[in-house]
Each structure stands twice: as structure tokens, then as C-alpha cells.
Structure 1
Amino acid sequence: MRIVIPIFFILSFLRSFSQSAKEIVQKADEKMRGNTMQAEMIIKTIRPTWTREMQCKIWMKGNNQTMIQITSPAKDKGIVFLKRKKEVWNWMPTLERNIKLPPSMMSQSWMGTDFTNDDLIKESSIVEDYAHSIIGDTVIGNWSCYIIRMIPKPTAAVVWSKVILCIDKKDFLEIHSRFYDEDGQLINTMNSYDIKFMNDRIIPTRFEMIPADKKGQKTEMIYKNILYNKPIDDGFFSVEKMKILN
């Protein structure tokens, strides 16, 4: 006696074990963030005739709280950025004042680099502010990756009109990303390198942001060290704390 199983039952069974595009993006995002994250990093702005290097400290808690402090060079030391829910603040020690950044500034360059304010401060969420779909797969170096297209939700205030992510299928590492404007033009490409075991997980430790239309120009972000899941009190992420960070 032969039993025939309808094809839609087979497809439903397979789908129950597959991961959605949003789940894949969420795993990649959580891989880099953890519940909390504290790090020191170097940011190199590279131009055809000069190179500038900054060092900074960063603290993150969940998706709604981020603090970034510039520690060098001397002329920028003490500048602090704070994201708290949807508010973004900038402490300028030379002016001794806090400036609240409007959403319109999220697309602008962060400290003269090729990263936007939103790239570093993360006002928008790649998980909640976009609709995700798997559009294929690819191999980048030794990494077999999902190709995921992200389109902003109608009510989302985001910088990009489309983002393409290539996420490693095994460790959920964001290996390659492309960012497009409202006209569908490629603006920036980000590549990830130097995959290492840091603290308690494998992550990329060097990111390279390359503008599409500016030859010989790029910015590198390099993690010196990183610590995950050490408790950070909510009170740390305050406007008052920006002024007294060591």
C-alpha cells in the first residue's frame, strides 16, 4: 500500500524548519550587539592624499541605547554621542553644550568619515524598520551567504531606500552590505574582514565602508577589544553622563 502525501504538506513541513529573512538579520544583529556591548575601536578615514585616525569607546545596551566617546586625536577628545530611544545627542566639550541632532542629520557623515551618523549611532533598526526577503545565495571568500534585500517600512524614518546584506549561513556574520538611495543608486558598500574569536563569539573585527562614486576614498573601523553582556545601568545612558565620561 502506497501513501501519497500532498505537496503542500511537504512544503509546509520544510518551511517550518526554515529561517525567515528577518530571523537571519536579527541573528546577525544580535551577534554583533549582544545584550550589552563595550568596545574600543580605531576609525581610519582614508583619502587619496591623506589619512586620519580616530580612537573611540562605545557602549551599547539593546537597540535603544548607545554612547560613543572620542578619545583621540586631542582636538576631538571628549566629543560624545548619545542615542536614547529615538533621541540623539552630541556633547561638544569645546562649546560646553549638548546639541540634540534632528532626524535629518542621520544621513550625514559621522565625524567626516564615510559612515553616516545612523551607521554608528543606530537610530534606525535593521530588524524592525525594514521588510526582509531572501533573494538568493552567494559565496564570498570562504563564506557561504544568504543574500537578503531590505526595504524600509512605509512609516520608518531611515537613511536608505534599499539595503542588500550578505550574511554567512553558519555563524550569521554580516560579510558584505550595499546601501542605495531613493533613486536606486548605489551609495556605499561595506565589507567585513579579520574574522576572529572576540570575548565569547566569532565576529568580523574590521569593517571597510567604500563610497561608490569617490575613487580612492574609504573608511575602516577596527575593533581593538570588545566585551559582551556585562551589565550596564540604564542611568549610564544619560545627557548628564556625557559630560563626565573619563
Structure 2
Amino acid sequence: MAAFLLSLAAPLVAQPVESAKEIVRKADLHVRGNTSQATIIFRIVRPTWSRDMTTKTWSKGNKLAMIRIEAPVKDRGTVYLKREKEVWNWIPSIERNIKLPPSMMSQSWMGTDFTNDDLVKEFSILEDYDHTLVGEEKIGDRICHIVELIPKPSAAVVWGKVRIWIDKKDYLQLKGEYFDESGKLVNRMVTNDIRMLGGRLLPAYMEMLPINKPGQKTVLIYKEIQFDKPIPDHFFTVENMKKIQ
């Protein structure tokens, strides 16, 4: 009888406990895949106006990414490239590539409520932060881990602290909060419209909400996404920025 009871108890004590970093890694891989290609609409909303911007994006791993503006016409062909730790911007109106200095990473990306760092350096979420589980919370019908990210001393990042809510079941990031270096909450990100995209369950709708700017937000809407289609490394080069379609 004692042996039988021990055999029942053994699986309970053998269950591994996921680390905060492993939870973030799984959430990151779920939304990114080995590679991804997507069409995304950014809707910039202000108290008296709004406008849409359509983009194409490509990523490979967590070090290579490209974003190309498709619309509106005045911005069409503008490209951002993230390669390792470098960020480049192709501006078709002056036919120049510009390497973004660290001082520009906290600036607004294309007039949105995302910073340059948010859009093109989000891939450093695993490398540039220390991760700690600080609790859990239910969002809708999903129970989420709350993970706190503190930048490493050597990391060149914008935020002084980030908190993200990751669904325990499907590793979906459902909420995020972004704090400045003094610990003041600056932006809140929320997601909605969870459905199948590219064969994966993902939030198709995201809002970035500045805390102290009523009536202002940026909405990100996934129109389509494809995962794990091979993309050669040479696609993500400064020379290729003006050629991609």
C-alpha cells in the first residue's frame, strides 16, 4: 500500500516549475516562430483625427527584422531594418539609409504611440532583461502569469521596467505595462480578438494606450501572418532595404 501511495505522489513532486524567462521565451517563440511574414495595419488615433498605416514585416529569430511601409502613399517604401544590435532606416524621398543612434530609440515610431525601440528592438526581450514572476491575474477567461522585466545594467533599452501578462495555457501575451526609469507607468498595452492566424492562436488586435494622454492610442491589427517560411539571412541587409517589395 505504501509503495502504491508513493507511486501516486511521485508525478506531483516531479513536475518542473517553469522559470519566468522560459515563460517569456515560449510566448516570444509563439508569436514569432523561427521566421514570420505579416501584413499589419497601424491605426493612429488622436482626439480630433485618426489615420491608418499599412506595413509588411519580416523576422527571423530574434536578431533580424524588416518593416516596410505600404500606405499611405507619402510614406510608401520607407523601411526599417533591425540587424543584431543595429537599426537602419531607408528613406526613399532622399534615397538614403540612416543608422539610428541610441538617442533616437525612445522617439515615436512613424508618429505612433510605439517607440523605435518597441518596434524594431522588441526582439531583445530575452537578452536585455532579467525576468521575475511577480503574480498571476485572470484576463477574461484566461489565467495569466505576470512577469516583471528589469533591464540589465549594460542593456541599451528605453524602459526602466516592463510587466507582461502571459496566458498560462497558450502562452499568449495579453497585456503589457511600460514604466520609465523613475518607475512611473507610461504606456499600457492590451490585446483582443484571439483567433487563428497563420495556423496559431494569436491576438489579432492590440492597443497601445499612453496613460496621461486621454483620447490617444495606437491600434495594431494583424491582417495576415505566415510562420516558418524560409528567409535567407541576406534578405536582412542594408543593401536590400530599397529593393524589397
What range describes the TM-score normalised by the shorter chain of this pair? over 0.9
Question: Match of 2:74, SS?
Answer: coil
The answer for the alignment partner of 1:232 in structure 2 is 231
Deviates more, 1:67-76 or 1:123-132: 123-132
TM-score (normalised: structure 1):
0.93
Contact 1:45–1:51 under 8 Å retained in 2: yes
Aligned partners of 2:123, 2:194: CA distance in 1, in Å?
25
The answer for the alignment partner of 1:65 in structure 2 is 64
Contact 1:42–1:221 under 8 Å retained in 2: yes
Q: Provide, for residues 39-58 of structure 1, a one-character-per-residue CA deviation record: whole Å limited to 9, x for no partner.
A: 00100000000001100100
The answer for the alignment partner of 2:91 in structure 1 is 92
Question: Match of 2:105, SS?
Answer: helix
Deviating above 2 A after TM superposition, structure 1's stretches of 4 or more consecutive aligned residues are none
Aligned partners of 2:239, 2:187: CA distance in 1, in Å?
35
The answer for the alignment partner of 1:55 in structure 2 is 54
Amino acid at match of 2:124: S
Report % sequence identity. 56
Aligned partners of 1:206, 1:24: CA distance in 2, in Å?
22
Where do residues 117-196 of structure 1 align in structure 2 (5 Å cutoff)? Answer: 117-122=116-121, 125-196=124-195
Aligned partners of 1:142, 1:77: CA distance in 2, in Å?
40
Consecutive unaligned residues of structure 1, counting only runs of 5 or more, are: 4-9
Q: How many residues align?
A: 238
How much has 1:123 moved relative to structure 2? 5.7
The answer for the alignment partner of 2:45 in structure 1 is 46
Question: Match of 1:132, SS?
Answer: strand
How much has 1:117 moved relative to structure 2? 0.7
Aligned partners of 1:51, 1:208: CA distance in 2, in Å?
14
Aligned partners of 2:85, 2:63: CA distance in 1, in Å?
7
Q: Are residues 2 and 201 of structure 1, via their aligned partners in 2, closer, same or farther at CA, if it must alter by over 3 Å?
A: closer
Contact 1:118–1:124 under 8 Å retained in 2: no
Aligned partners of 2:151, 2:2: CA distance in 1, in Å?
48
Where do residues 25-36 of structure 1 align in structure 2 (5 Å cutoff)? Answer: 25-36=24-35
TM-score (normalised: structure 2):
0.93
Amino acid at match of 2:45: I
Q: Provide, for residues 186-221 of structure 1, a one-character-per-residue CA deviation record: whole Å limited to 9, x for no partner.
A: 000000111111112111111100001101000001
Amino acid at match of 2:127: E
Aligned partners of 1:119, 1:151: CA distance in 2, in Å?
15
Contact 2:63–2:123 under 8 Å retained in 1: no
Aligned partners of 1:51, 1:142: CA distance in 2, in Å?
32
Question: Match of 2:117, SS?
Answer: helix
The answer for the alignment partner of 1:7 in structure 2 is none
Contact 2:206–2:220 under 8 Å retained in 1: yes
Amino acid at match of 2:50: T
Aligned partners of 1:113, 1:219: CA distance in 2, in Å?
6
The answer for the alignment partner of 1:204 in structure 2 is 203
The answer for the alignment partner of 2:7 in structure 1 is none
> Do residues 19 (structure 1) and 11 (structure 2) align?
no
How much has 1:240 moved relative to structure 2? 1.2
How much has 1:13 moved relative to structure 2? 4.3
Aligned partners of 1:54, 1:63: CA distance in 2, in Å?
24
Aligned partners of 1:123, 1:101: CA distance in 2, in Å?
15
